[in-house]
């Protein structure tokens, strides 16, 4: 059963939601439109009209002061009501329609600002290029009412049932000849009207008899009588159709069929008809049948619980859109079908989207983009060329007009997701130099903002994301700079080294050794920068010092540097009660502790604590309570010849922190204008050094321990665990587990004489002593216990987050590097972007982000000037490389960086399938796909296999200068996703495209059949479909009464005999209102459907011209998979696949199992 669209409470105008309206508000707005409003209307010239809605005909009328209707437009043809964001846009749009508008808009700035809120344009029509009507209301309130009201009426028109549409159509016919404005029509006027209704005028006697039959007086019909006359007229030639139902299953007989209301069809017979002939399973529900019959019953007295159809009402139902041949469930969106990779879909695609006609002289227009996007197109083309000041779009080296790239991007942004929320691909054909490509890239960023996809959703994915994942996203299809094409051979040779070199580098190399290694560098190696940097460790959440070198466009860094073990008692502070160690959020935590402590003690000035920096090694601070606030003083530390020094800003040095604290407890601190000395301290409570917290687990099995360690994929990650069920008689109740070279090792710990013993190695009184020992020395000669795996750490870090930082942890380090065996990792600067900002507690931190895998490394230095020097060195390397690549490839890096999933690749058809990845798009001309002999070059299986993973785009060959289209079916059959057609050309192949993309809610994405997505699946079995054309109603009338015939064809043709895939009816003379094709010359045709998933049934209604050539009047094209059986209406469309009001065929279809 076909359900009409529901009139929504939420009104959308030009893509913007105007809020929910209650019924009373909607009624008041529509009444306002019926009353009419004076506005400035911009046509050939600016002129004031009364703009009024005529509800009977569902039209908008322009009325002059003389009460003369100058122009009307049908609301069912209304496509968009666009409120202009600025008056400048409104002016620009109207000026583009001709120079005559330019003088209209010479207004003061104040008026221009006001007009920006009152201007709107109505776009309407049934062709590709829409007509427009620009209006300027006198007030914002009037403009808002018209914007809202027109959208309400548009929705109402879409939801209207067939009897309502017939009534509106009859009002139009009457108004077209009603010169007296009395809502009546005379016999003379009716005779002139009938040819316009597409039927030969019957004899005068016939008309006179019908006038008497409908109760007319003085040969004048009012509207009700005119409606009855129409019922008699359309029934007269088609009452013979009722004989169809007197035989066969669920047969019924109407006793008297001379007049449309002379006999009735009861509810039970109609139910049997729906169940048996129409195969409607929903017809078991009587309530649904009653609702359907009520729509077509004209007499309210018969709208009961047991309604009855008259013969005329039954025929009206048969020809109605409610009885359509198309099963609307195939037009619904299936959300579950939108979770496959993009490569599994056919994608609605446009070629030369900017053109409104041929490729030589036609006009380029931003409105062509708007039209395509609103028709459901999801891939539009932009041919970009250098303009005087900014990029332009046109068909290069032709006389087609030019439009600004910026205007096109704005139009796409405004209309991309109105019809469909699924991603839009911008297929950019690049002819601009890199300079203007940079301008393009900035425009794309500025206009699309967060809609623009610039990073992969999942860098580790092995297939394209799904339409659901990419909702609301703009995807750039463009050439991308291939880094590997510009990599030095030496770099490639050094790129594949054994992982062993990396693992061996965990050996301690002294600073002296480092200098020797740097000195031994080859003469041809360029050392651009060397020194010491602090690199962020995401596990310990702090910076560690590393020796670093920039050489050959790479950053090499060493193991973190170990501080010299103090030999002079400089670590005595670790056991002092005033030393609180490293605190989480150190400064904030210290202030809270001191505030709470001193507040309870009366706030004694001089109370202090000492804490270690939570960001840098060997950085300490004194936090001191004074004058009811906390001051912080940094304690500086330095080491020379193994001797430590501690000092404040005064530079007075002390051999230990204990000595410094004791001195300032006796002497004043002169610091930032304060003269204070340290008094009492805030004692630490249960203080435990940070490296001893949380690594012991009292109840953790082996499997869980390994899971925890693998979540921290760092060599040296460790934990100690108690056995799950400690054995009283066993001495082995603890195990130390750690990660080394990516492998987890477990060592048993046993108790002996109250000590913790590792077999044949060491013994300790406490586990804490054991951990402290092996944090300084190699465990079992292999590795130090570096990263304690605490529950907090496991919860904070998952593997994906950590790997973002560990860009080089397990990377292959070249043996021949400036740091030698000390080298821990290497970062290829040319693959990175660089940024600097304040983060991790540092005032200036440099971030290197790898563009390929999105991994990063962050570094700083204790001397800000050095950070800036390193940053500039890295930046110069990147910029030099950018300039080199842009010069070689003619591609701006800014545009290249925007390409994520649709990298345009130029390869011959033969080489296309040799090597590819899922992020690439290959393009082919249509004659490459359909050229004979292609099967010998590339097998269809290769095409299908490629299209399961990556994307392909097929476009019209260069010889199609008239913008003609090619048959898309062969490309679809090979699994090609983006088969780009010229939307501005209304031909058979564009109609096939429109038919395919009616599937899945018109979203522009149609899931390919399973056998195309999975080579292991089989094609569905063949089927037969039998078609018989019976009759038609309301065929279009160009400028004369037509003599129609109907051609039916099954597409695509898969055999050599064309007659096997098409047939024609006989030609009927001079009747386009209600022709009937019955008799021996119009037999049914049975088609064999080889591939039901990619087959289309097409109906053409034509007439013969003076040369006996077929002239197309209307058409309808449907995917075979959605065809319904039984006696069905075929709603007809024009060449642009726009609905024709009331035009339909009546056919009988039957699907037969093979």
Q: Which two tokens stand for residue 960?
A: 């199609």
Torsion of CA 149, 153, 155, 157, to 10 degrees: -170
Q: Tell me phi and psi for residue 292, to 5 degrees.
A: -65, -45
Residue 1114 β-bridge partners: 1101
Q: Find how far residue 578's CA is from the centre of its chain.
A: 58
Query: Cα–Cα distance between 1129 and 327 in angstroms, integer?
Result: 11
Q: Which two tokens stand for residue 705?
A: 């321990």
Cis upstream peptide for 1052 (omega within 30°): yes
Burial class (CB in 10 A: 0-12, 13-18, 19+), 201: middle
Query: Cα–Cα distance between 797 and 212 in angstroms, integer?
Result: 90
Active-site residue, selected from the candidate residues 344, 395, 580, 1034: 395
Query: Cα–Cα distance between 243 and 241 in angstroms, integer?
Result: 5
| CB contact set of 484 (below 8 Å; sequence gap of 6+) | none
SS3 692: helix
| Cα distance between the two ends of the chain | 27
1075 close to 1044: Cβ distance less than 8 angstroms = yes
440 close to 408: Cβ distance less than 8 angstroms = no
User: Measuring CA to CA, how many Å separate 803 from each of 429, 539, 808?
Assistant: 37, 11, 9
Q: Which two tokens stand for residue 301?
A: 């007295």
Q: Which two tokens stand for residue 400?
A: 């087609």
Q: Which two tokens stand for residue 764?
A: 């300790």
Our answer to whether residue 395 is catalytic in this structure is yes
User: Measuring CA to CA, how many Å separate 133 from each of 42, 85, 97, 580, 652?
Assistant: 7, 17, 11, 77, 84
Query: Cα–Cα distance between 835 and 874 in angstroms, integer?
Result: 10
Angle (nearest 5°) at CA 476 between 472 and 477: 135
Active-site residue, selected from the candidate residues 344, 351, 478, 573: 351
1117 close to 1098: Cβ distance less than 8 angstroms = yes
SS3 671: strand
Strands 696-697, 717-722: pairing kind: parallel
SS3 772: helix
**DSSP E strand stretches across 342-404:** 345-350, 379-385, 392-393, 403-404
Q: Tell me phi and psi for residue 305, to 5 degrees.
A: -70, -20
| CB contact set of 1135 (below 8 Å; sequence gap of 6+) | 986, 987, 991, 1112, 1115
SS3 504: helix
- Of the candidates 301, 262, 307, the one whose C-alpha atom is nearest the C-alpha of residue 288 is 307
Q: Which two tokens stand for residue 696?
A: 């012991």
39 close to 334: Cβ distance less than 8 angstroms = no
Task: Give the number of C-alpha atoms closer than 13 A to the C-alpha of residue 549, restricted to the C-beta side.
Answer: 22
Query: Cα–Cα distance between 359 and 397 in angstroms, integer?
Result: 10
Q: Find how far residue 596's CA is from the centre of its chain.
A: 53
Angle between helices 23-35 and 140-159 (to 10 degrees): 110
DSSP one-letter string for 1008-1038: PPHHHH-TTSPPPPPEEEEEEEEEEES---S
Our answer to whether residue 1040 is catalytic in this structure is no
Q: What is the CA radius of gyration of the chain?
A: 41
Which residues carry out catalysis? 351, 395
């Amino acid at each position: 059963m076909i359900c009409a669209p529901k009139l929504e409470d939420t009104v959308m105008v030009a893509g913007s939601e105007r809020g929910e309206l209650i019924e009373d508000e909607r009624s008041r707005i529509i009444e306002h439109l019926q009353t009419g409003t004076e506005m400035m209307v911009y046509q050939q010239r600016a002129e004031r009209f009364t703009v009024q809605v005529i509800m009977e005909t569902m039209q908008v009328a322009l009325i002059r002061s003389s009460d003369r209707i100058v122009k009307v437009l049908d609301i069912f043809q209304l496509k968009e009501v666009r409120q202009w964001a600025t008056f400048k846009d409104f002016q620009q749009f109207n000026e583009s329609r001709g120079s005559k508008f330019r003088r209209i808009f010479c207004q003061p700035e104040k008026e221009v600002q006001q007009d920006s809120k009152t201007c709107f344009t109505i776009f309407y029509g049934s062709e590709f290029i829409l007509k427009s009507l620009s209006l300027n209301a006198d007030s914002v309130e009037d403009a808002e009412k018209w914007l809202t009201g027109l959208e309400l009426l548009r929705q109402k028109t879409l939801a209207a049932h067939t009897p309502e549409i017939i009534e509106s159509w009859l009002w139009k016919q009457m108004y077209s000849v009603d010169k007296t404005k009395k809502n009546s029509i005379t016999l003379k006027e009716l005779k002139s009207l009938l040819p316009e209704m597409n039927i030969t005028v019957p004899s005068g006697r016939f008309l006179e008899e019908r006038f008497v039959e409908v109760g007319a007086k003085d040969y004048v019909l009012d509207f009700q009588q005119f409606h009855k006359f129409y019922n008699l007229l359309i029934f007269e030639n088609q009452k013979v159709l009722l004989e169809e139902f007197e035989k066969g299953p669920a047969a019924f007989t109407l006793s008297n069929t001379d007049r449309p209301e002379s006999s009735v069809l009861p509810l039970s017979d109609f139910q049997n008809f729906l169940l048996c002939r129409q195969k409607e399973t929903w017809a078991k529900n009587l309530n649904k049948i009653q609702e359907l019959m009520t729509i077509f019953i004209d007499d309210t007295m018969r709208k009961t619980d047991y309604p009855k159809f008259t013969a005329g009402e039954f025929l009206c139902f048969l020809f109605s859109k409610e009885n359509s041949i198309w099963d609307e469930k195939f037009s619904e969106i299936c959300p579950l079908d939108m979770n496959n990779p993009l490569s599994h879909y056919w994608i609605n695609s446009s070629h030369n989207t900017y053109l409104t006609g041929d490729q030589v002289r036609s006009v380029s227009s931003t409105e062509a983009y708007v039209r395509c996007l609103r028709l459901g197109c999801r891939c539009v083309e932009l041919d970009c060329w250098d303009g005087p000041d900014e990029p332009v779009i046109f068909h290069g080296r032709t006389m087609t007009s030019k439009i600004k790239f910026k205007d096109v991007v704005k139009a796409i942004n405004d209309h991309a997701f109105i019809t469909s929320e699924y991603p839009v691909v911008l297929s950019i054909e690049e002819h601009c130099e890199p300079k203007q490509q940079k301008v393009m890239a900035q425009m794309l960023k500025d206009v699309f903002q967060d809609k623009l996809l610039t990073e992969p959703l999942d860098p580790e994915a092995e297939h394209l994301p799904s339409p659901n994942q990419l909702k609301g996203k703009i995807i750039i299809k463009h050439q991308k700079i291939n880094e590997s094409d510009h990599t030095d051979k030496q770099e490639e040779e050094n790129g594949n080294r054994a992982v062993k070199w990396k693992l061996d580098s965990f050996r301690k190399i002294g600073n002296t050794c480092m200098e020797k290694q740097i000195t031994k560098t080859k003469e041809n190696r360029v050392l651009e920068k060397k020194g010491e940097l602090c690199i962020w460790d995401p596990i310990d959440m702090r910076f560690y010092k590393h020796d670093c070198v920039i050489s050959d466009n790479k950053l090499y860094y060493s193991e973190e540097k170990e501080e010299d073990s103090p030999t002079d008692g400089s670590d005595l502070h670790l056991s002092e009660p005033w030393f609180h160690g490293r605190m989480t959020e150190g400064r904030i935590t210290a202030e809270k502790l001191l505030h709470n402590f001193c507040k309870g003690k009366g706030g004694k000035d001089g109370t202090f604590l000492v804490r270690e920096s939570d960001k840098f090694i060997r950085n300490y601070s004194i936090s001191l309570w004074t004058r009811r606030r906390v001051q912080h003083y940094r304690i500086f530390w330095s080491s020379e010849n193994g001797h430590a020094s501690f000092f404040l800003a005064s530079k007075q040095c002390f051999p230990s922190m204990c000595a410094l604290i004791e001195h300032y407890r006796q002497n004043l601190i002169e610091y930032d204008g304060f003269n204070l000395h340290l008094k009492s301290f805030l004692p630490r409570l249960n203080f435990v050094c940070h490296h001893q917290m949380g690594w012991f687990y009292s109840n953790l099995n082996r499997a869980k321990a390994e899971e925890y360690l693998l979540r921290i994929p760092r060599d040296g990650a460790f934990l100690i665990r108690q056995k799950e069920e400690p054995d009283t008689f066993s001495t082995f109740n603890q195990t130390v587990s750690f990660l080394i070279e990516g492998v987890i090792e477990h060592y048993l710990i046993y108790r002996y004489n109250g000590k913790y013993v590792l077999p044949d190695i060491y013994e300790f009184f406490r586990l804490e002593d054991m951990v402290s020992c092996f944090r300084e020395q190699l465990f079992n000669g292999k590795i130090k216990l570096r990263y304690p795996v605490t529950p907090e750490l496991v919860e904070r870090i998952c593997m994906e987050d950590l790997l973002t930082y560990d860009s080089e942890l397990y990377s292959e380090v070249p043996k021949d590097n400036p740091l030698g065996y000390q080298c821990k990792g290497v970062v290829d600067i040319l693959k990175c972007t660089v940024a600097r900002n304040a983060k991790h507690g540092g005032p200036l931190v440099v971030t290197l982000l790898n563009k390929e895998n999105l991994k990063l490394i962050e570094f700083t230095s204790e001397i800000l000037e050095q950070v800036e020097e390193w940053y500039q060195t890295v930046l110069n390397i990147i910029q030099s490389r950018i300039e080199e690549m842009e010069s070689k490839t003619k591609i701006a890096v800014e545009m290249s960086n925007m390409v994520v999933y649709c990298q345009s690749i130029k390869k011959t058809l033969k080489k296309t399938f040799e090597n590819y990845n899922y992020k690439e798009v290959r393009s082919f001309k249509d004659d490459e796909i359909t050229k004979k002999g292609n099967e010998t070059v590339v097998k269809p299986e290769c095409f299908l296999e490629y299209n399961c993973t990556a994307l392909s785009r097929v476009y019209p060959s260069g010889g199609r200068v008239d913008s003609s289209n090619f048959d898309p079916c062969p490309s679809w059959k090979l699994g090609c996703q983006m088969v780009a057609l010229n939307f501005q050309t209304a031909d058979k192949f564009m109609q096939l495209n429109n038919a395919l993309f009616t599937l899945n809610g018109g979203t522009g994405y149609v899931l390919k059949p399973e056998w195309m997505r999975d080579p292991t699946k089989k094609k569905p079995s063949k089927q037969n479909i039998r078609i018989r054309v019976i009759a038609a109603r309301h065929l279009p009338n160009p400028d004369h009464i037509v003599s129609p015939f109907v051609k039916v064809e099954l597409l695509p043709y898969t055999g050599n005999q064309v007659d096997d895939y098409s047939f024609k009816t006989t030609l009927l003379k001079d009747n386009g209102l209600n022709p009937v094709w019955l008799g021996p010359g119009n037999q049914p045709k049975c088609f064999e459907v080889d591939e039901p998933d990619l087959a289309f049934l097409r109906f053409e209604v034509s007439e013969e011209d003076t040369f006996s050539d077929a002239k197309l009047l209307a058409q309808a094209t449907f995917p075979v998979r959605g065809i319904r059986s039984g006696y069905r209406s075929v709603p007809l469309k024009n060449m642009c696949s726009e609905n024709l009001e009331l035009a339909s065929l009546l056919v009988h279809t039957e699907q037969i199992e093979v």
